[in-house]
Amino acid sequence: MKKKTTFYWVFAALLLAISVILKVYLGIPVSFLGNLAKDINLSPAIIMLCGITMGPLMGGLVGGLTDIVATLIRPMGAYVPWFTLTNILIGVIPALFYRKKDVKEYKFGKCLLVSVVEQTVCSALLNNILLISLYGFPIEVAFFRAIGSYISAALYAAILYLLLNRTKSIFDKIK
């Protein structure tokens, strides 16, 4: 295993801080049928960026810590560790798609595929199953959330594509 440099850990902490700020302070809650249906924020894009550039372990760590720190700063009900698990998967799943270390150029199609798979597994399936089973969310709200997940996937793919290609030289130092 390659020794991790100070730059590696500082960059991971920077991505964690950006992700927490995006989740806590810049998130937009959306209600549907009287329930909080979706919290629109860009933190999953930063967590996916961390997973792609730094590997599945660091992506999962940043994803889990983002959820825990955001819950400590702005609790929205009881802490449920299962939602932290889905945040961990947000960092792990994209890293599995980008196992090859020397990527010449990041393609938008692959970024979109990564975002759609991640949103399908984490948001459309796992989070909706948890919300229905734990809180009794109506199926209509879950359906609305699933549609919103795919809209978010396109946005996350665009952000990933831009960040990965514009800052490739920085990410090459990490690998």
Q: Is the pLDDT of residue 103 over 70?
A: no
Q: How far is CA 33 from CA 37, 38, 141, 143, in A?
A: 8, 12, 7, 12
6-174 to CATH, choices 1.10.1760.20, 3.40.1160.10, 3.40.50.300, 1.10.10.10:
1.10.1760.20
Domain spans of the chain?
Answer: 6-174
Question: How many other β-carbons are positioned within 10 Å of the β-carbon of residue 96?
Answer: 14
119 C-beta neighbours (distance < 10 Å), count: 26
Q: Is the pLDDT of residue 57 over 80?
A: yes
Closest CA to 89 of 55, 115, 64, 54: 64
Residue 168 above 80 pLDDT?
Answer: no
pLDDT in tens, 129-146: 888 888 887 888 788 888
